[in-house]
Structure formats: C-alpha cells, structure tokens
Amino acid sequence: MSKVRYWQKDIETIGRRALEELQLKRLRSSFGRLYRHVPSFREKCRAAGVSPAAINSLRDIAHIPFTTSDDLRAGYPAGLLAVDRNRAIRLHTSSGTTGKPKAIFFSKRDIAQAAELVARCLTMTGTGSGDVLQNMMTYGLFTGALMMHYGAEKVGALVIPAGPGNTERQIALMQDFGTTAVHILPSYALYLATFMQQHGMDPKKDLSLKRAYMGAEPYSEKTRLKIEKLFGIDVYNCYGLTEMNGPGVAFECLEKNGLHLWEDNFIVEIVDPVTGQQLPEGAEGELVLTSLCREAMPVMRYRTRDITRILAGKCPCGRTHRRISRILGRSDDMIIVRGVNIFPQQIEQVLMGIRGVAQNYQIVLESLDELTIRVEIARDMFDGNIEHLLSLKSEIVEKIRSAVLVKPIVELLEPGTLPVTEGKAKRVIDKRTI
C-alpha cells in the first residue's frame, strides 16, 4: 500500500473505547443544547418521554426522536437554530426539494470544523501543498463547492474555483495550470470525457490529473472504474449532506474500499427505512446521522434516506472510524416496475460495464410495467454494420434483465443526444400518472 498520510493522526486512529467515550460526551452536550434552545424539539422529546438526563450510554440514542427533512422544512427559516441568530455566519440550503428548502445555519466554529474534516479527507487521499484542485461543483447555496474549497485551502493546495459547466474553459484551466485534482460530479466527469474525445483530445494524455473527488449523487463502482480508465486517474468517493456540514462526512481512503465516516463528529446508525428500527451492523438500510460538533444547528438522528451498510473489519490504512459502503441509492429514488424494486444505480452498474456504451443514459418510465432505457453509445459503433448495433442492444437488454429481473426496452442513441445538467444528474424521467 502507498504511504499513509494523516491530517489529525491521533483522532483518526483513536481507539474504539476512547472514541465512544468522546461520542457520549458530545452527544449529551449537543442533545442538551438542542433541548434547551429549540422549543419544537423539546416538545417532541417530551412527547417521546426522553430528556437529556436519560442519555447515559450511546445505546440510549435510540430513545431520541428522529429528525426528518419535513421537520427541518417545518422549522424554516430559523426554527431549529440552537444559538442566537447573530452567532450564525453562514446559511446553506439543501438540494433536491420542491417548495420550501431546508435552511441550515453555520457558526464560525462550524465552518472551521467542516473545513477540518475535508482537510482530513484530502490528506488521506494524497492532496496537499503542490496540488492544484479545480473545483467544478456549484458555488452558492449548495455546500459542495464551498466546503471543499475551504478544506483544500487548509491543506495548502492551490484551489481553482471554476464552478461547473463551460467545458472548454474547464479544459483550458486544467491544461494551463496543471490541475492535479478535481472535485466533480460523476455525470459531469463522464460528459467531460465525451467532450474531450469529440474534440480530438485524449483525457488521459492531454491533462495532468492524478485524482478526482466524486460525490453528491449516487454512482456505481463500474462508473468509477470507467472514469478512472478514461482519465487514467484515481477516483475517490466523497459523501456528505448539508444537514451534516456538507462534503467530508464520509470519504474513501487510498484503499478505495468503503468510506470512513468521521465518528468523532457523527454517530452513525443504520435503520429499516420502513419501521425505523435499528439494524444490526452489516445490514443494508437507511443511514441515520447525529451531528456531535455542530454548534449553530445540531441535528439529532437525521433520516438521510440514503441506503448503505456498515462494512466489517479494520481498514489497512489504520483509521479506526468505521466505513460505510458507497450509497446504493436513496430510499425515495427507488422505482417500482412490474412490482420489482429497482435502484437506478443497478442499471448504471450494468451499462457502464458494457463495451460500446458511452457516457450518458436515461431511464424513462411511461407505465407501471415498462422500463425504457435510452443509452448513448460510442461513435465507432455506428460503423454501418447493423449486426453490431443489434448485438449490442440485445447484450444490454439481457444484462439488465438478469440484474433487475425486468426486461427493458432499450434505445441506442448517438453520443451527445441526451441532456446534460450542471447540477446533480436527472437519470429517471417518470411520466407515469397514478
């Protein structure tokens, strides 16, 4: 294994018992502050019969009521703030919603802490002074770009705050300043590679990239491998959400085998998405997170809707914080066709492993029993030989059928046909009206 580097070695390799003592101390303090300062939360706790005095061990967390995104929306704009409004120095909102967003406040200490966590993540994957990090995430209300920016500056990298889009300019910046690392959406990384190829460039030879940080939307292992191969780089999975600071909640180390979740800052639980019951370690379910260090707006037992599991065993990198698997999907992204539950990522996993499939695809649902997949395929597949196209099409149909148990209708498209978004990709077009 290559050289392991730590940002805060003591805390990253802390023993389990000391970590749990720290978690309990911080849980009691965060819960207590929220209980004292947020009346709606206090009422909810009273109704559930739990008060700070009842938290005597980490197991007692199960008595604390969950916080859902509806609770956060109900508290809009500032109902769940646990400090005086003047102590908050930053506001972010969480994406992917209709109607009122969720407003998340940060104190000065919260911003510094978020940057610390990102600094741990970047150091762990080899980014530091001497690196040039081009940040292609959206700067603004979304935490993705800003928190990564702060963490990257902290480790001494040169940060290019490029934001998303304007692909020609992105490439020019990467070439002119020797960008070694990018923070990028997986869907945009795929688009960038297509764009370069279409303009006669080789993403592997014409850039000096070493690594990419990819998160903000679910993607499959096959997509990671495809992007690594296209650019000749290492791709590290980066997970986070606004309610818990933004990026850097959980991050892959050089092993690329699960994401270390910083347990000194968050308590992790996996629950049954339907019943809310805690599941045993290793079981797949919904990730529930409790923030332990957030000052302006601590959040207890937040139902993330993200599906994952805790990975067993020690990581060879020496970090003791447990790892979660890549996010398998969101419980609210799951689609049901002919009564079968399907996560879009299962389809992506199949597509990205097939030779001849290009970078973009879309899942279209028109009725309850029909699954249509529109797939862009490599330009060299349109070589005038219809046999090649037909055999690619039946390979896609068969492989998806065996992965998700529903036979799809597959449409093959030329590269560049499907729309590309600047933000998180919209892979599923659901035209069904029920």
- Asked if 302 and 244 count as a contact pair (C-beta separation under 8 A), the reply is yes
Stretch touching Zn ion by CB under 5 A, among 83-91, 189-197, 303-311, 317-325: 317-325
Complex with ligand AMP: residue 126 or 248, whichever CB lies closer: 248
x/- track of binding to ligand AMP for residues 90-129 (CB under 6 A): ----xx----------------------------------
253 binds Zn ion (CB under 5 A): yes
Of these partners, ligand AMP, Zn ion, none, which one is at the site of residue 216 (CB under 5 to 8 Å by kind)?
ligand AMP
327 binds ligand AMP (CB under 6 A): yes
Of these partners, ligand AMP, Zn ion, none, which one is at the site of residue 226 (CB under 5 to 8 Å by kind)?
none
134 binds ligand AMP (CB under 6 A): no
Complex with Zn ion: residue 2 or 277, whichever CB lies closer: 2
Stretch touching Zn ion by CB under 5 A, among 39-47, 246-254, 358-366, 420-428: 246-254
Of these partners, Zn ion, ligand AMP, none, which one is at the site of residue 327 (CB under 5 to 8 Å by kind)?
ligand AMP
Complex with Zn ion: residue 41 or 236, whichever CB lies closer: 236
x/- track of binding to ligand AMP for residues 301-320 (CB under 6 A): ---x-x--------------
Of these partners, Zn ion, ligand AMP, none, which one is at the site of residue 181 (CB under 5 to 8 Å by kind)?
none
317 binds Zn ion (CB under 5 A): yes
44 binds ligand AMP (CB under 6 A): no
Of these partners, ligand AMP, Zn ion, none, which one is at the site of residue 425 (CB under 5 to 8 Å by kind)?
none
Quick one: which H or E segment has residue 375? strand 370-377
CA gap 331, 274 in Å, rounded: 10
Distance of CA 351 to the CA centre of its chain: 21
Of these partners, ligand AMP, Zn ion, none, which one is at the site of residue 94 (CB under 5 to 8 Å by kind)?
ligand AMP
- Count the Cβ atoms, other than its own, within 10 Å of residue 68: 14
242 binds ligand AMP (CB under 6 A): yes
Complex with ligand AMP: residue 256 or 388, whichever CB lies closer: 256
CA gap 237, 56 in Å, rounded: 35
Complex with ligand AMP: residue 31 or 219, whichever CB lies closer: 219
143 binds ligand AMP (CB under 6 A): yes
Complex with Zn ion: residue 323 or 427, whichever CB lies closer: 323
Stretch touching ligand AMP by CB under 6 A, among 234-242, 271-279, 354-362, 403-411: 234-242
3-state secondary structure labels for all residues of the chain = CCCCCCCCHHHHCCCHHHHHHHHHHHHHHHHHHHHHHCHHHHHHHHHHCCCHHHCCCHHHHHHCCCECHHHHHHCCCCCCCCCCHHHEEEEEECCCCCCCCCEEEEEHHHHHHHHHHHHHHHHHCCCCCCCEEEECCCCCCCHHHHHHHHHHHHCCCEEECCCCCCHHHHHHHHHHHCCCEEEECHHHHHHHHHHHHHCCCCCCCCCCCCEEEEECCCCCHHHHHHHHHHHCCEEEEEEEEHHHCEEEEEEECCCCCCEEECCCCEEEEEECCCCCCECCCCCCEEEEEEECCCCCCCCCCEEEEEEECECCCCCCCCCCCCEECCCCEECCCCEEECCEEECHHHHHHHHCCCCCEEEEEEEEEEECCEEEEEEEECHHHCCCCHHHHHHHHHHHHHHHHHHHCCCCEEEEECCCCCCCCCCCCCCEEECCCC
237 binds ligand AMP (CB under 6 A): yes
30 binds ligand AMP (CB under 6 A): no
**CB of 245: closest distance to ligand AMP in angstroms?**
10
- Tell me the number of residues near ligand AMP by CB under 6 A: 19
Q: Report the interface residues with Zn ion, using CB under 5 A.
A: 253, 255, 315, 317, 319
Q: Report the interface residues with ligand AMP, using CB under 6 A.
A: 94-95, 142-144, 215-218, 237-242, 304, 306, 327, 330
